[in-house]
Amino acid sequence: MEKVNYPLNTFIVGYVVILVPTKIQEGQAKYRTNLKIEVLKHYSDTSYPRCRVCHVTDLNLLSIDHINEDAKHHKQGEHCPGSLARYLKIRKDWPTDLQVLCHNHNMKKMMIHRRLNVTGVIGHYLSCDYLKMDVFKYYGNKCRGCGEEDLLCLSIDHIEDNGAEHRKEQKIKAGRSTYRWLKKNNYPMGFQLLCFNCNKVKELKRVKIIHR
């Protein structure tokens, strides 16, 4: 029998090295994409998936949101933690407390929820927000990719994708620590403002898994 020379990818499970043909992976990826589309369409108010708030339709930017902010309960309870297993479980039960949001509005909703429901941290959020506004103002107060101006949808991005290395080198964390470092160092070059949607697209392009 003639040997088929598929490109192979290597996976290590325990001490066993498994070689999986790329065509099999492509089939699995297509199945996951179709499953995601089916679930997102079910929870959209149109015949195609879109964000409930801004009507963005890019599949890469859409995800399932728990309306009542009980995602942790679902993942630890009857819903499965993995994205594929979670979509399969959703398709089986079709729970009513879900909706489709883009990353911008998912993150914005989460931040508003934290401010309204977490006690004892109002001062922390206010001081962080003032610091963030100073940093955002210097870097243009809008997304460099799409022009989004809602501050709750924006974040600092390392242009060269070296955020992890930079934070490790400077011994800082994401968020408030990074804002403080930027201000202390007179707003250096190499940073930009991106909305969460554009940040997601940039990351997907970097790892080359954009849905075709």
pLDDT in tens, 100-119: 999 999 999 988 887 776 65
| Model pLDDT, residue 121 | 52
* pLDDT grade for 5, boundaries at 50, 70 and 90: very low
* pLDDT grade for 201, boundaries at 50, 70 and 90: very high
Residue 54's beta-bridge partner residues? none
| Model pLDDT, residue 189 | 94
What is the overall mean pLDDT for the chain?
Answer: 80
| Model pLDDT, residue 22 | 67
Question: Is the pLDDT score of 145 beyond 90?
Answer: yes
CA 32 to chain centre: 17
- Weakest-pLDDT range from 96-105, 156-165, 167-176, 201-210: 201-210
CB atoms within 10 A of CB 64: 22
| Model pLDDT, residue 79 | 43
Closest C-alpha to 101, from 154, 58, 143: 58
Helices 176-184 and 163-170, interaxial angle, to 10°? 70
- Averaged pLDDT for residues 47-58: 94
C-alpha to C-alpha distance for 62 and 102, rounded to whole angstroms: 4
C-alpha to C-alpha distance for 40 and 83, rounded to whole angstroms: 13
C-alpha to C-alpha distance for 197 and 202, rounded to whole angstroms: 9
C-alpha to C-alpha distance for 61 and 210, rounded to whole angstroms: 10
Question: Is the pLDDT score of 21 beyond 60?
Answer: no
| Model pLDDT, residue 70 | 57
Q: Over the range 156-184, which residues count as b (16 or more CB within 10 Å of their CB) and which as e?
A: bbeeeeeeeeebeeeebeeebebbebbee
Comparing 53 with 115, the larger pLDDT belongs to 53
Cα(first)–Cα(last) distance of the chain, in Å? 34
| Model pLDDT, residue 178 | 92
